[in-house]
Amino acid sequence: MKKQSGRKIRAKKQLKQTCATVEYASIRQIWLRKDDGELLKFSAADFPALLPGDRVSDSNGLRRELSPFNPDSLSVESRGVCQVVLRVRHNVSRLTHTLEPIGLFVPGRVESSENLQSIDNGQFLVATLKRKPTRRRRGIVWELSSIDQILDNQCDVATAVALTRFGIRENWPKRIKTDLDDVALVCTKSEVINRKDLRDLAFVTIDPAEARDHDDAVYCERSEYDGYRLWVAIADVAHYVKPGTLLDAEAFKRGASIYFPCQSIPMLPSELSSEACSLKPDLDRLALVCEMAVSSNGTVDSYKFYEAVIRSRARLTYEEVGNSGINGTRTHEVSNSIQRLFELHETFMVARKTRGALNLDIPAPSINFDSSGAVADVSKDQKFLSHSLIEEAMLAANTCAAKFIAEHYPNAGMYRVHGPPKESNLQFINQMLSDSGLSHKLTSESTLVHCQIVTEQLRRQSPTLYSAFQIHLLRSLEMAIYSSKNGSHFALNYPEYTHFTSPIRRYPDLVVHRMIKRVLNDTGDNPEESVLTSLAEQSSRTERRAEICARDAESWLKAELMKSRVGERFDAVVTDCRHFGVFVQLDSPYVDGMIHVSDLGYEYFSYEESSRNLVSDRTGKRFCIGDSLKVRVAGADPELGHVNFELA
């Protein structure tokens, strides 16, 4: 309070500015990540000139409850590198052209001083833009700074759009080359000398046929007692990626590898992910090993971790191993180990059923391309027993790692935590069960054994409703996250759990490896809780980012396929209803879409929120989850990832 000429003057209250970074931008949404970690989502129209990587501040505190949002209070502190996908549109004479941004809300126009006549009309390209100063009071002008990539096919376009929405670049910074220069692609004697030598064991890798990185290998034999000995060897990424290096900083920033239908964006450079840390056959490789003694009832009686050197005997695929093992073309040692793995898998599955882990059978989409790179079909990814065989072996190693971390780091560690569903999320699940004639009711206190009994009954009673039920049950669950605090994993029904088996593609696994090696070698101080908390939060964010990137690209490609099939009829199943329409899923091609309420006929439909049914006010006709319909493709928009149907 100031005094001036006998009057009291109240000083204007200074509001604390809030800073944030643009994390995601599409033609519909802008995501702002505040410096305190909170994520805010707004309409892209509220932010007419923000792109991924931009730093902003707001004098009003940048609050979620500001509605409608006032963009005038926002200040741009710095600009990120603006990389976008553009479509080239030539005029008839090809003397002039238009550059059309794809996938991002880029206001204004894009100009180019480069000669683009050699680029085909309609060609997609990745380019870096620079905002051009202009004296005009209205309108924004962007200048084409560089053409970074010419996109050859639909998959390349879908991938590039997904990456630019998050501001993710495929290329590695040149500055990390210094760290890579010190990496030996072949194990040296000095690296092997203090490790346990397991090169006489017939380790194999089992991965998808298209896999480029092979960071886990397995070997199994009967124990001298009633049970099995299982070795899970994981590439020793921590040996090559040291804390504090530029390579580690870039891996932390990426957080996770991103897997697209036709390529992947690795967390680590190919010199590591595809070479030094890939457990290739007949090559010596450094590994961190979890050796387990497993009883005949599928429980791990004891385990130990140690650094080792291994030599894989074979690179196998899920298809090759299949449901029963491999043919006689492999060595006796390899074949024998595979058969022991199948036997062990049976005991693991018995233990899983006894434990009550949740089993959801929701097929993943497999996008297939023709020789030109166009989408030819979307099918359900085929699953073999070998998938489950490897999954159960990895789960066993992960639980051992969690126990190891909990024992040696009682204050803070790196865990994978999954909480039980909230009661509010189960209301609709119970309504579905009631509508199907089942008297069972699920609560947040229900055991997973009870949940499995309910879902199995529904599967036998109504297969079409069961498929939709699984989707809604999955949506009702809390999202699994990384945490520095030990906690249970609801879906797997483990008291503690972590990720240990994929340090090539997940940063938290690398953190777990470092913590285990610190104990084994008795080196270094324990990491501070605040550091581990920050690592866990960042890992959860980058995992989610990778999932959204892959999903965006898949949605684009599905819509691209259906755009070429407008007018065709298909069988569909209703997966959900809202007041604005009916969501449906096709079996072949394996594609989702929506029938807008205006395309359901001339009747007026009311929405019953409790049952999620659409009901005709005049005739009582209902659209219910699990209903089978005949639909026709009405249209598709790859940029939005939407497929629209109508009743056939």
Residue with the bigger pLDDT between 491 and 1: it is 491
Do the Cβ atoms of 34 and 58 come closer than 8 Å?
Answer: no
Within a domain: 466: yes
Q: What is the pLDDT of residue 61?
A: 61
**CATH number for the domain including 575?**
2.40.50.140
**Residues 231 and 260 grouped into a single domain:** yes
**Residues 429 and 363 grouped into a single domain:** no
Task: Among 78, 93, 120, identify where a domain stops.
Answer: 78
> Percent of the chain beyond pLDDT 90?
57
- Per-residue tokens: 355: 């434990």
Residue 1 banded pLDDT, cuts 50, 70, 90: very low
Is the dihedral angle over the CA atoms 426, 429, 434, 435 positive or is it negative? positive
Looking at residues 37-45, what average pLDDT do you find?
84
**Residues 311 and 365 grouped into a single domain:** yes
Q: What is the pLDDT of residue 64?
A: 53
Report the predicted TM-score, pTM, of the whole model to 2 decimal places. 0.90
Instruction: Say which DSSP state 381 is in.
Output: P
Residue 196, φ and ψ in degrees, nearest 5: -75, 130
Residue 328 banded pLDDT, cuts 50, 70, 90: low
pLDDT at 456 over 90: no
Within a domain: 202: yes
Q: What is the pLDDT of residue 428?
A: 86
**Residues 411 and 427 grouped into a single domain:** no
**Residues 609 and 535 grouped into a single domain:** no
Q: How many domains does the chain have?
A: 5
DSSP H/E element including 634: strand 628-637
**Residues 23 and 115 grouped into a single domain:** no
What is residue 353's three-state secondary structure?
helix
Within a domain: 269: yes
For the chain, the average pLDDT equals 88
Within a domain: 1: no
Q: Among candidates 428, 379, 427, 441, which has minimal Cα distance to 625?
A: 428
DSSP H/E element including 56: strand 55-58
Within a domain: 356: yes
Q: What is the pLDDT of residue 359?
A: 85
Residue with the bigger pLDDT between 306 and 41: it is 306
What is residue 518's three-state secondary structure?
helix
**Residues 337 and 258 grouped into a single domain:** yes
CA distance 186 to 190: 12
**CATH number for the domain including 104?**
2.40.50
pLDDT at 11 over 70: no
Q: What is the pLDDT of residue 63?
A: 60
- Per-residue tokens: 429: 């699940």
Sheet containing strand 622-623, strands side by side: 605-608, 613-616, 622-623
Looking at residues 239-248, what average pLDDT do you find?
93
**Residues 66 and 120 grouped into a single domain:** no
Residue 437 banded pLDDT, cuts 50, 70, 90: confident
Residue-wise pLDDT for 272-293, tens only, equals 999 999 999 999 999 999 999 9
Q: What is the pLDDT of residue 135?
A: 54
Of the candidate ranges 152-161, 416-425, 458-467, the one whose mean pLDDT is the lowest: 458-467
Residue-wise pLDDT for 54-73, tens only, equals 888 887 666 654 444 556 67
Residue with the bigger pLDDT between 611 and 408: it is 408
Q: What is the pLDDT of residue 222?
A: 94
Looking at residues 507-528, what average pLDDT do you find?
93
Within a domain: 88: yes
Winning range, highest mean pLDDT, from 96-105, 325-334, 491-500: 491-500
pLDDT at 36 over 90: no
Q: What is the pLDDT of residue 35?
A: 86
Looking at residues 254-267, what average pLDDT do you find?
94
- Per-residue tokens: 593: 């879409």
pLDDT at 119 over 60: yes
**Residues 350 and 491 grouped into a single domain:** yes
Residue-wise pLDDT for 124-155, tens only, equals 999 998 877 655 545 678 888 889 999 989 99
Q: What is the pLDDT of residue 517?
A: 97
**Residues 275 and 366 grouped into a single domain:** yes
Q: What is the pLDDT of residue 65?
A: 47
Q: What is the pLDDT of residue 91?
A: 82
**Residues 512 and 408 grouped into a single domain:** yes
**Residues 638 and 514 grouped into a single domain:** no
The residue segments making up the domain with residue 100 are 82-151
Do the Cβ atoms of 417 and 485 come closer than 8 Å?
Answer: yes
Do the Cβ atoms of 45 and 105 come closer than 8 Å?
Answer: yes
Within a domain: 2: no
Residue 268 banded pLDDT, cuts 50, 70, 90: very high
Within a domain: 6: no
Q: What is the pLDDT of residue 533?
A: 95
- What is the DSSP track for 273-340? IIIITS--BTSEEEEEEEEEEEETTS-EEEEEEEEEEEEB-EEEEHHHHTTT---TTS-HHHHHHHHH
